Structure 1
């Protein structure tokens, strides 16, 4: 009669408890029930008291979000594995507004269906040469895929330099992507040198386009040579330029990085780019170029499968019309300011300060070093910091864990220091 298991709260009682209701706000019932059942089973097994079932269930509730926030202490600004570009405050606010009903494809003047994402297209065109049209798809590879499919997907040829047949990450290669459209690749030149005469000799009756791909994630130095866009635009076929990282206009800090406006002024029929790299926006692919060609892409059946949702369009529009993005801020961070913050953190956690140059990352600006500093700590702290709260990801090098504050918001320095001290206190080196 005194069996303590009789005091274990029933499931319906727990579901009705206001404390569990508050803790599980936003979660579906079928996400809450496993936590309740697990706590009840632990009580039946005598591992916890019946009175502790509610707190045990609350502590076992899953996070409503399926992604985890990370403090990026790697020094890599556009970190592909960490979601690439962090959004600006204006882009985040735009996403929140767009989560409700919007005028995505609605003309408020006529009350009828309107062009999808017209505001974003207008924001893009404001930053591009006159006479340009634009469309947005779901990533940079999709932009090139649609362009090649529409131009040469019926078995026509695209001419591309051997030195530009790049792998873009995770084993994916752009030549494989282009061939998947049904186009035939006509490779010209060599890995290190391609001449205008190579392109001229390759053009024939089945040539649909010349494709120029910026090798954004590597550099070839020494005995090299290539052909600029202006030297290809009079060969009688459209020139498609994949600039990769999404720089819309020249940036003096990145003089070797191609930009969309310059390529279009040089005569490119079409420019493809990413929106989530140097542009600093959400994952998106940009197609910019001659209006008849962009309209042809817009009406291609594949465009429907590659289109972006309202949240992406909202974030991209706010990125284009808002202020400076975190990507721009982080890559231009003052080295002396970084050093002062690093010295404070090192003193708080018992680390040492050492030079650590950051990089742009994400396949942008290869070889460009961003002068900076890092706190050096024992390598054994790397995993506890990654699995702790907050999740802190640093850079392991030479047996040390380096924490670079370049991409850590200054207001998060206190949180970062507390995370390191907690990892040390929990038994870290």
Structure 2
């Protein structure tokens, strides 16, 4: 029997479906963004032969990913050109390779960080042939620090445009407009992956704003707040994008047909599970939480509804109000090993299942998973059959 799961469900030894009920909306360890229905349909359509690099009108070779690029340009009108690669680090590496080979790349010391699992940004940047020129201190840099560092040997300035930190306000640094006034190319790497401003997240950076402020290039992830597959976006100056596209490394970093199809559908459709979670009204979360608590208590599980917060991308990103269902922390292991697996947060001796990251249509699945974890004898199927209230979600 095949060990490959279908798109519609099932598990394999390699991957398992997980309900993200943690306090991080776009969780890097859980696959980041949940693809929309239109993106999943686009992936299914791209399983076979498609016009990936073929012009059906002329019968000649076509430009790879042209529909996806067209969708990006329509979504970010300020951009003159765009290119898609397989990840945001790849986009950043290509940008530095083109703009600062053998030259200095000016960056704030505060931004030379290690992400996770030993991945360090300085090592990525120096691997491109650029010479790093750190400015400022560990607390940040001011415009004068950048101004004094820029000279004829400067290839570009890189700024990691931050999200607004709920506790610190905006991190001390010059904005893109000020850096663009230094008359050297500016790469703005945005953490969110948003293409346009999002009213529900006024502190999150976006590509359109960064380009309007004078960035030469914006690099971004397609699998964060944009809500698409893992991809890296380069958006901005036409001449620089063309250099990127023609660089030999671009071939090694190109996005595959499934990612291009899913990204295009994500951009064109606009509605994603990620943005739906961001825009969910707080009172709706409370109503869902009250139903879940009632359902769990009816099944004999002690549960309480508590107010909580989720961060969008991580510790330094925007925080959103949420509600969480608090249950016995001893259920955490069983929930992780269940089907579907459920991952929450251990806090204060309890397991908190945050509701904002959970799609509303998965509330019943979440309730069944908790009841199955609490029962050592009943399966999820049995619980569904014996629980008439599950149809009231």
**Residues 195, 76 of structure 1: alpha-carbon distance in 2 compared, 3 angstrom cutoff:** closer
After superposition, what is the alpha-carbon deviation per residue over 1:381-413, rounded to whole angstroms, capped at 9, x for unaligned?
000011011211111111111112222232322
2:295 matches 1:358:
no
Aligned partners of 2:296, 2:267: CA distance in 1, in Å? 39
Which among 225, 228, 233 is matched to residue 281 of structure 1? 228
Report the counterpart of residue 255 of structure 1 in structure 2: 202
Structure 2: distance between partners of 1:220 and 1:183: 34
Q: 2:343 aligned to 378, 385, 393, which one? A: 393
- Which residue of structure 2 aligns with residue 10 of structure 1? none
Q: Is 1:308–2:258 an aligned residue pair?
A: no
Aligned to 1:407: 357
- Shift of residue 66 of structure 1? 2.9
When the two structures are superposed, what TM-score results if normalisation uses the length of structure 2?
0.88
Cα contact 1:161–1:188 (8 A) shared by 2 = yes
Contiguous gaps of at least 5 residues in structure 2: 5-9, 298-302, 379-393
Pairing partner for 1:168 from 115, 121, 138: 115
Aligned equivalent of 1:59: none
| Number of the residue aligned with 2:7 | none
Aligned partners of 2:170, 2:69: CA distance in 1, in Å? 41
Q: Which one of 28, 33, 37 corresponds to residue 89 of structure 1?
A: 37
Unaligned stretches of 5+ residues in structure 1: 1-23, 29-61
The Cα RMSD (Å) is 2.3
TM-score normalised over the length of structure 1: 0.81
1:212 counterpart residue number: 159
Conservation of the 8 A alpha-carbon contact between 1:164 and 1:215? no
Q: Which has the larger radius of gyration?
A: 1
Residue in 2 that maps onto 1:46: none
Equivalent residue, structure 2, for 1:344: 291
One of 183, 195, 205 as aligned partner of 2:142? 195
The answer to whether the aligner puts 1:379 opposite 2:318 as a matched pair is no
**Match in the other structure for 1:134:** 82
Task: Give the Cα–Cα distance (whole angstroms) in 2 for the partners of residues 78 and 203 of structure 1.
Answer: 36
Contact 1:71 1:393 in 2 (8 A): yes
Identify which of 170, 173, 193 aligns with 1:246: 193
How many residues end up aligned between the 2 structures?
368
Matched ranges for 1:179-194 at <5 A: 179-194=126-141
Give a deviation string over 1:77-104, Cα, whole Å, max 9, x none: 1011110000011001000001111100
**Judging changes above 3 Å, is the alpha-carbon distance between structure 1 residues 223 and 284 closer, same or farther for their aligned structure 2 residues?**
closer
| Shift in alpha-carbon separation, 1:386–1:241, aligned structure 2, 3 A | same
Match of residue 57 from structure 2: 109
